[in-house]
Amino acid sequence: MTMPRGAGIDRALAALGLMLALATPAQAQVGPSKTFRDWIAGCDNTKSCTALSLPGGTEDDIAFLRLDRPAGTDGAPALALKLRAQKLKPSFTIALALDGAPFPAAGRPLQATSSDGEVAEISIPPAEAEALIAAARKATTLTAETETGSFKVSLVGSVAAMLWIDERQGRLNTPTALIRKGTTGIAPAAPALPIIAGKPASGKPLAKAEASALTKAMRAEIKRREPDSCEDMPDGFTDTDGAWTLDGTLRLLAIACSRGAYNVSSQFWLVDGRDVAKARPAPFEGAASKATSELVNADFDPKTGQISFYAKARGLGDCGSSGSYGWDGKRFAVLQWSEMSECRLLPGDDWITLFRSAER
């Protein structure tokens, strides 16, 4: 059963939907994600897929299952149970049950470890993982018992999520399918990983006074062009503005334009020299229809030429999007993109990767 959400989460999800619609790179073939009741699944541009169970949304201590599977005939599924709780022991045992029946059938407990006392990950052996996937057709709840507590994981929606992954990877009715198996056929090979030729900022760094003058001029130019597109920032808050030389006389400017309790949105501009009157929006993929290019909680590293961002849909940071762009000499190409469209206490490290690349 899908857990009810409060008005606060509804508002967060509405904001998240708008945020993702504006930010998702269109040209880079970012993969899809989809919610199936108490599960969510997504695949990246190489058809490597992930399925996650969604915690109830209110518990302090949570458990969830994570299934990862690369594309291709040799792409083997990996299933793990993750716990987040207080005062986990460095080493402990965990007993599983499906709808109250011991799992595996022999009732053998699994060994678990925690390096920080708060998070534990238990890799489920392949044979047990296959049995659990098969049992999920009928079972509705996986229970995990430790010496200090009990955790429940909903399996409602898991079969639909895995069936969707089979379809995305071209495994339906083949021997390697998770759900709808067949006796013949092979899964298509994984698409090639895109190679991005990234470039670090190579120009002379700007002096602090010069950078400050340039960002102030750009802020005034934005106000002239589109008065309502960028808020006036309080004194001291413009310290989040920045200016860097990318190559020769080409500068990248970041102008903070809106702020909330946990997000700062910045516009990024490209300027040749000091001529802000001819500034153009930084060419982030997917932002061509916008007069400016904006990223949330963004940070530019001139040593790598990369901009990272982390857009939180609510203060807990359990939903939103994160990723990075790399400068290739002409544009900022998306390097990595992760997303979580459900605000259900899943940590950022477990958000689903929807785009990945390699650099040269």
Domain CATH for 70: 2.60.40.1880
How much is the average pLDDT of 19-47?
Answer: 80
Question: Percent of the chain, pLDDT > 90?
Answer: 77
- Look up the domain containing 135 and give its range: 29-168
Task: Answer yes or no: is 14 within a domain.
Answer: no
For tokens 């008065």, the residue is 227
pTM of the model: 0.88
pLDDT of residue 26: 46
Question: Cα–Cα distance between 327 and 350 in angstroms, integer?
Answer: 26
| Residues 139 and 221 grouped into a single domain | no
Let me know the angle formed at the C-alpha of 25 by 20 and 28, rounded to the nearest 5 degrees. 145
* pLDDT at residue 279 is higher than 70: yes
- Final residue before a domain boundary, out of 168, 183, 218: 168
Q: How many domains is the chain partitioned into structurally?
A: 2
Task: Flag whether 185 is in a domain.
Answer: no
Tokens of 81: 């149970």
Q: Is the pLDDT of residue 261 over 70?
A: yes
Asked if 50 and 160 sit in the same domain, the reply is yes
The reply to whether 125 and 240 lie within a common domain is no
User: Is residue 186 in some structural domain?
Assistant: no
Peptide bond preceding 126: is omega within 30 degrees of 0, i.e. cis?
no
Mean pLDDT of 194-213: 94
Dmax (CA) of the chain: 73
Average pLDDT, the chain: 89
Could you tell me if residue 189 is inside a domain? no
Nearest CA to 81 out of 350, 289, 279, 302 is that of 350
Determine the average pLDDT of the residues in 27-32. Answer: 78
Do residues 71 and 203 both lie within one domain? no
What phi, psi does 216 have (nearest 5°)?
-65, -40
Judgement on whether residues 94 and 226 belong to the same structural domain of the protein:
no
Domain assignment present for 16: no
% of residues, the chain, pLDDT over 70 = 88
d(CA 318, CA 298): 18
pLDDT at 13: 45
At 43-57, the pLDDT tens digits run 999 999 999 999 986
Does residue 259 fall inside a structural domain?
A: yes
CB of 286 closer than 8 Å to CB of 23: yes
Query: Between 12 and 41, where is the model more confident?
Result: 41
The residue out of 120, 153, 168 marking a domain boundary is: 168
pLDDT of residue 18: 44
Distance of CA 177 to the CA centre of its chain: 25
Please determine, for residue 237, whether its predicted confidence score (pLDDT) is greater than 90.
Answer: no
DSSP state of 27: T
pLDDT band for position 238 (50/70/90)? low
Say if residue 108 is in the same domain as residue 218.
Answer: no
Tell me the pLDDT band of 236, cut-offs 50, 70 and 90.
low
Q: Mean pLDDT lowest for which of 225-229, 291-295, 300-304?
A: 291-295
pLDDT the model gives residue 171: 98
In a domain, 18, yes or no: no
